Structure 1
């Protein structure tokens, strides 16, 4: 009877597409996307567990914020390394679905961490943070971005599924498909649009604002995917693409650091302008 039940379960999973792939190339014949999803979930779980431990051990301090930024950046980059596998094998819309869901998760779980360097530049401009404090947090993010691939490399080197074959040691290729200045403009415009939208949704308390924010930012990534990559985050871009074939170091800095940071600064200027602030006040008045 147990054998019969096992066969029924096996047939069910085959019909669902979970198993049935070559067992020589995929562990237990499991669909490769199951392993990719599992790797992403492991990264989320480990980061969530680490955050709980940090919050339990440390009181509020600059050191605690640095560690939380390091963890958030590592979590972001680890998940996005696996999203490269998803995009390469199942297309841009599978990638977009995963990214949107992940963005919603991160928005609910990161608390004050951002895993994004220009967020601290914005706080400096708005007078909420001093330069030395911000520099330490940005350093933590860069460190998290740099070490992430060593963690990912261990998982990929196991080659549990065919989509991970040779990925741990192959040379990466840059995503920038346009001229450096156009790439910087794309990253700046996308960053600016995402930041203004996020601020607007937050300020107005829009219902399901976190979902709308995640959807909008994901669509902006999709729009730039085949142009600059649509990273809109210098730390993420550095983790995934610094040193990849097809980009010089200067091109990387101009497109993904300078471009995104300029876009962020412009978003602060626009959002703090009298016209935008008056409009927000009028909306709040109508709601009241």
Structure 2
């Protein structure tokens, strides 16, 4: 068997292992945690850890087998996450949206975002252990090597890309959720993955502040403020804009037509 095939199998195994650990962790939390909000905190942390853990390995896949292979894995994983995460989102701006719409207090939104960041940042130690084993060549020197930014365009352009793509993602997700489409999760995953691929060579296509911070904060090529502007301000601005744009007559008319055609 070719070395590259073995390396891909190992990367796939690491992703599956991470997902399996997260799956059973959720089962444990749901069984033993009785307080709803505390359960939500744990589930957000677990979901973000699973997301970031898988995406660390997706970086390896993208570097060695290209964006197309990366997109296939991301598409399938996104469907898996939509099925298994329940109410967890692993994304800070969803709680920001809930606060703006009056569905959550600022305290609850802040704590849920904090739980996401804890889960996302903590998972790297687990990934370091797996990479440090260096079972395959693709993991050689990755555990403790300096990372580099994915931002390949000026900061303002990167923030604009993250803003627009996040806005489109959120509008699509809301519309698909409201239409209750039979293949909603597949369609949502396809749209999200397509936008990630389109932005991949420009900003990295994160559209998620917790994910971007967990994977790329402190990497060579961007300062703290540049990271915040692109991946936090850009994405959150797009999310907030999606709330207003979703309520516009054009979008609502389109959704109405789709619901009638079902």
Normalization by structure 1: what TM-score? 0.88
Q: 1:91 aligns with which of 62, 66, 77?
A: 66
Q: Does 1:263 align with 2:228?
A: no
Deviation for aligned residue 1:208: 0.6
1:143-179 superposed Cα distances (whole Å, 9 cap, x missing partner): 1111111110000000000000000010000000111
User: Aligned partners of 2:112, 2:197: CA distance in 1, in Å?
Assistant: 29
Counterpart selection for 1:143 from 115, 118, 128: 118
- The within-5 A match list for 1:1-288 is 19-21=1-3, 31-281=6-256, 283-284=258-259, 286=260
Helix, strand or coil for the counterpart of 1:129? coil
SS state at 1:91 partner = helix
Q: Give the distance between the partners of 2:87 and 2:198, measured in 1 at CA.
A: 28
CA distance in 2: counterparts of 1:91 and 1:280, whole angstroms? 35
Q: Report the 3-state secondary structure (helix = DSSP H, G, I; strand = E; otherwise coil) of the residue aligned with 1:168.
A: coil
Q: Distance in 1 between matches of 2:97 and 2:247?
A: 11
279 and 161 in structure 1: CA distance in 2 versus 1, 3 angstrom threshold: closer
For residues 92 and 276 of structure 1, the distance between their equivalents in structure 2, rounded to whole angstroms, comes to 31
- For 1:169 and 1:84, the matched residues in 2 are separated by 15
Relative contact order, higher structure (CA 8 A, sep 6+):
2
How big is the alpha-carbon RMSD for the aligned residues of Structure 1 and Structure 2? 1.5
How far 1:281 moved relative to its partner? 4.2
In structure 1, distance between residues paired with 2:250 and 2:205: 29
- CA 282–220 in structure 1, closer or farther in 2 if over 3 Å, else same: closer
**Which whole-Å CA distance do the structure 1 matches of 2:143 and 2:102 have between them?**
43
Report deviation, 1:68: 0.5
Q: 2 CA distance for matches of 1:249 and 1:256?
A: 11
Q: Which moved more, 1:269-278 or 1:58-67?
A: 269-278
How far the C-alpha of 1:273 sits from its partner, in A, is 2.9
CA distance in structure 1 between the aligned counterparts of 2:119 and 2:112, rounded to whole angstroms: 11
- Give the TM-score taking structure 2 as reference length: 0.96
d(CA) in 2 for partners of 1:282, 1:106: 29
Q: Distance in 1 between matches of 2:7 and 2:200?
A: 23
Where in structure 2 are there 5+ consecutive unaligned residues?
A: none
1:89-144 per-position Cα deviation (integer Å, ceiling 9, x unaligned): 00000000000000000000000000000000111122111111110000000111
Give 1:237 shift: 0.2
Name the CA distance, whole Å, in 1 between partners of 2:157 and 2:218.
20
Tell which structure's C-alpha radius of gyration is larger.
1
Aligned residues: 262
